[in-house]
Amino acid sequence: MTVPAEKPKKIAIVVHQEHSRPGRVGALLARRGYSLHRLCPNLGCELPDDMSDYAGVVIFGGPMSANDCGTLAGIKCELDWIPKVVEAGVPYLGLCLGAQLLTRAAGGRVSPHPHGLVEIGYVDIEPTEAGRNWIKAPMKVYQWHREGMSLPDSCELLATNERYPVQGFRFGPNAFGFQFHPEVTLEMKEIWTMKAAERLKMPGAQQRGVHLSMHTLYDPPLDRWIDGFLDRWLATDQRSAPSAAAKGGP
């Protein structure tokens, strides 16, 4: 009798700064029994060629741009690596910069808002018709970005708003990108709004008090959403059908 192979229990956590944290997403994955393999290509970490030990990949945000591949070796490394993850059928989740890197890897574009507006603070997003399978209703989400995405035809738009029309998308069966930050805890908000206080002066940004006072109102629904999403995302492992992931098909 053939014994089924055990499913991998390790998640690749890709961050962009020495002190970056996986926050709520990391805690929820650890609670499910996954070990987190923290990688930071910007600090010289090599990304794994063999993905057989990994149940998924999460790439988080950072202050750099997905267009910095000409000046930052770490960003170029990630852009070269992401198509290999997708082709291998490994579940991929990109948050903020991680979503923008997926966009570029899929053939899309990343650029600033045409009027220089940012999304820093709590922002409304709306699921598309296709996105209601993943996001049931409009949500207030936490944002911290100054660039947005233009998707290629191979990607399916899942969530949108007026200022930055691409808020969530899927590339193939199990690679997802979300412009917002479901991982950010109150402690992380306190640090971000202090260490990067100059960003709060940018057009469209909310003041520090809004970031902190609205946490108890808006984060519980976001917490419940990402908790449920992670189970469904991890269940999309396509390693038995890698060709579908490679083609970007549904």
pLDDT at position 240 is 58
pLDDT at position 46 is 95
Could you list the pLDDT tens digit for every one of the 250 residues in the chain?
Answer: 444 467 889 999 999 999 999 999 999 999 999 999 999 999 999 999 999 999 999 999 999 999 999 999 999 999 999 999 999 999 999 999 999 999 999 999 999 999 999 999 999 999 999 999 999 999 999 999 999 999 999 999 999 999 999 999 999 999 999 999 999 999 999 999 999 999 999 999 999 999 999 999 999 999 999 999 999 999 999 885 444 334 343 3
Q: For the chain, give the DSSP string.
A: -PPPPPPP-EEEEE-SSTT---HHHHHHHHHTT-EEEEE-GGGTPPPPS--TTEEEEEE---SS-TTGGGT-HHHHHHHHHHHHHHHHT--EEEETHHHHHHHHHHT-EEEE-TT---EEEEEEEEE-TGGGGT--S-EEEEEEESEEEE--TTEEEEEE-SSSS-SEEEETTTEEEESS-TT--HHHHHHHHHHTGGGGGSTTPPPHHHHHHTHHHHHHHHHHHHHHHHHHHHTT--TT-HHHHHHT--
Give, in words, the CATH class of 10-243.
Answer: alpha beta
pLDDT at position 1 is 46
Q: Where are the domains of the chain?
A: 10-243
pLDDT at position 239 is 83
pLDDT at position 4 is 47
